[in-house]
Structure 1
């Protein structure tokens, strides 16, 4: 895999995981009784959101560069961006991007 493609895949998985963990933390924080242990755990998970935000910004830059090198249209890039904001979607999009990149541009996805 090229360094850019490998970086994209790792960032996508990290962003997706942080998003899921952050959403679980929000559920714990806002939907459980005030002062409980799990509710407090949800409140203490704010660093997950900070990490997701910073890593998401890097992910967007890497996704943009990857789409430019592959010569893909803007809608594909926008789908990649939105995928980092909807829990679970990024895993499907990452799989689709990897499959399409290997088929259309094997030089970008080669080992």
Structure 2
């Protein structure tokens, strides 16, 4: 796999996992009564959002460079960006990007 493509896939997975963990943490923190152990767990996981934000910025840059090298239109890049903000969506988008890149630009996805 091309280094850029491999980096994109790893970042997509990390951003997706952090987004799901952050969403669950927020549900626990704000959806449960104060003082409970699950509510405290949600509160303790709040820094996940900071980590997600920093890694998401790197993900956006890598996704932009990848779309530019592949010659893809802006809407495809925007879908990749939005996927990092909607829990679970990034896993589906990453799979589509991988398939499209292999079909349209095999040189970017090759080893």
Counterpart in the other structure of 2:97: 97
User: How is 1:1-111 mapped onto 2 (pairs within 5 angstroms)?
Assistant: 1-111=1-111
- Shift of the alpha carbon at 1:67? 0.1
Give the TM-score, by structure 2 length.
0.99
Distance 2:46 2:65 in 1: 30
Q: CA RMSD in A?
A: 0.4
Deviation at 1:84, TM superposition (A): 0.1
Aligned length: 111
Structure 1: unaligned runs, 5 residues or longer:
none
TM-score with structure 1 length normalisation? 0.99
Provide the rounded CA distance (Å) in 1 between the counterparts of 2:46 and 2:34: 17
Moved over 3 A (4+): none
Determine the C-alpha separation between the residues in 2 that align with 1:55 and 1:46: 15
